[in-house]
Amino acid sequence: MTDTPNGWMLKGSQILLESLINQGVDTIFGYPGGSIMPVYDALYDYTDRLRHILVRHEQGAIHAAQGYARVKNFPGTVIVTSGPGATNVITGVADAMIDSTPVVVIAGQVASAALGTDAFQETDLIGMTTPISKWAYQIRRPKDIAWAVARAYYIAASGRPGPVVLDFTKDAQIGLAEYVRKSCSFIRSYVPVPEPSGSSLAEAAAMIDAARKPFVVYGHGIILSGAEKELAAFLDKGNIPAGSTMLGLSALDSDSPHYTGMLGMHGSLASNVLTQECDLLIAVGMRFDDRVTGTVSTYARQAKVIHIDIDASEIGKNIPVDLGILGDAREVLSELTRRISAGVQRDWDGEKATCEAVEKKMVIDPEIHPSEGLIKPGEVIAAVAEACGGKAVVVTDVGQNQLFASRYSRFKQSRSMITSGGLGTMGFGLPAAIGAKVAAPERPVCLFVGDGGIQMTVQEFGTIMQEGIGVKIILLNNNWLGNVRQWQSLFFDGRYSFTRMLNPDFEKLASAYGITCVTLEDRAQMPAAIEQMLADDRPFILNVHVAEEDNVFPMIPPGKSVGEIMLNNKDWFVYGK
């Protein structure tokens, strides 16, 4: 390290690590390899300032970084090598893009002289990740590193967050440059947070005051903008009920009197019925995903629609809107709360309570309080939620485990539901839970995962073992790819094409990694098993043999309106009938 007039002469690999520290990074999820070896060599001297978690597969690194980012509200950092190391993170990059998760991936690349020559482990990472990242940039000179890293963290975290990919050539890692600290808070072509227009806010406030049956649908944007308090205040003052998307879960206390439950395909009856009954739909920080809307041509057709979002390309993309407000959810909600009148009489007439009573009798009670038969997945989730009292970070994989967990978990604190919503990535859960626990070591982290999904990234048991990460893994084991089986049962004449799983002995597998595993088959043993699981901070697997062919209800079948809801295998609730 030589002093220069403005900084120090460092190798590119050192500049990278100094720049990461300068951005506030203290944790890296990664895996070494040929083209990133200079960075790993430099990392050897930085272990006092940077915690590096060695995963077992690069996909594990990026999902862990996503879990970390979502809990910590700080971009997750991934370091991998070129070629297969880089292509192995692609699923996670796409997942982070569609779920607006800030992550920065630093991938090694062959030396710039070898670019384009099909060199060993060379791949066009920029070409591959441009469509699925917020920004993808190749660093070819050591003097560009500090600038690129500052820009990467700014882009990843600002506005609507997302993944950034830095493709880092080996010669840039080795070469020397003067290191000068850089920060970035402005890019002239990039407007992360648009200003809401005063006239649109005034118009919205007037529409809200005039509405007889307003209904709020909110999403991840509430959490991303830190608008949890502003949302609660808005609902209080306006006396407005509100339903959440899957990624919005935990933004509002599950016990809020305004809360109607999750929206969409497996959402609550109340949330979907209120969508079809309201006269004003106020959407905040959500993007009208097809899992929320069902058939768009029949979605909330009776209502006027106000859509508040930070991303101009979302407004009017799926659902025609009467009024779009561009801006940050926190700022817009606090401004609207100031402008709307308090104590406006609404015409909601017990619709929420009626729906909740029907759902409790027809769906919830049979799922979480069954009197006989094998343990049901919803029953396990409700019992874990009860034992955790809303303190846990809930992480899910994808499929029935995710849908049941979304329905039966209870939340008291924001940033407590980590799931792969938009991409629906099986295998996300286990590594994401590792990242979540690293981000919040003081909180219990409960992963709900199926026997299918856990085997997609099961190698991360090794990471848990090596790092001693105390995640609680609740394996809802039914020996099926449950969600696909459910669809085969309901929509493909019960033709169970390749959804039956012959599973390993999970106790033996856990034992190989030194992780405690308890198998649960008897309902009477469940409270004690959950107590044992939560008793200390060590990793734990609760292998629950659940009912093999249980289906998630309510369900809006594909192609149906959100008012046409299956309550079980034979009963329907059809709105307006």
Partner 1 sequence: MESEKLYEITAYTENQVGLLSSVAGIFTRRSINIEKLLVYPSKIDGIHKFKILARTTEKNARAVVLQMEKRVDVVRAFYQEDNERSFREIVSVGRFLKERENNNKQQ
Residues at the site binding partner 1, with contacts judged by CB under 8 A: 126-127, 130-131, 134-136, 138, 155, 186-191, 311-313, 316-317
d(CA 286, CA 234): 17
CB of 327 to partner 1, least distance (A): 15
> Which CB, 152 or 515, lies closer to partner 1?
152
The sign of the CA dihedral 42, 47, 53, 56 is positive
> Which CB, 326 or 547, lies closer to partner 1?
326
Which one-letter amino acid corresponds to residue 134? K
> Which CB, 195 or 347, lies closer to partner 1?
195
> Which CB, 317 or 443, lies closer to partner 1?
317
CB of 137 to partner 1, least distance (A): 8
Q: What is the dihedral of CA 343, 344, 345, 346, to 10 degrees?
A: -120
CB of 314 to partner 1, least distance (A): 8
CB of 179 to partner 1, least distance (A): 24
> Which CB, 136 or 394, lies closer to partner 1?
136
- In Å, how far are 70, 229, 392, 425 from 395, measured between CA atoms? 11, 23, 9, 13
The token pair that represents 293 in the structure block: 């809307």
CB of 209 to partner 1, least distance (A): 30
163-169 vs 103-109, strand pairing mode: parallel
DSSP 364: I
CB of 104 to partner 1, least distance (A): 14
d(CA 340, CA 235): 11
CB of 189 to partner 1, least distance (A): 4
- Among residues 92, 414, 447, 428, which one has the least CA distance to residue 224? 414
CB of 188 to partner 1, least distance (A): 5
> Which CB, 160 or 213, lies closer to partner 1?
160
DSSP 131: G
The token pair that represents 413 in the structure block: 């604190």
d(CA 340, CA 342): 7
d(CA 321, CA 305): 5
CB of 187 to partner 1, least distance (A): 6
Produce one character per residue of 39-76: b if its CB has 16 or more CB atoms within 10 Å, e if not. Answer: bbebbeebeeebebbebbbbbbbbbbbbbbbbbbebbb
CB of 117 to partner 1, least distance (A): 17
Beta-bridge partners for 572: 566
Start-to-end Cα distance in the chain: 77
d(CA 119, CA 108): 13
Q: How far is CA 132 from the centre of its chain?
A: 16
d(CA 72, CA 69): 5
Place of tokens 């079948």: 557
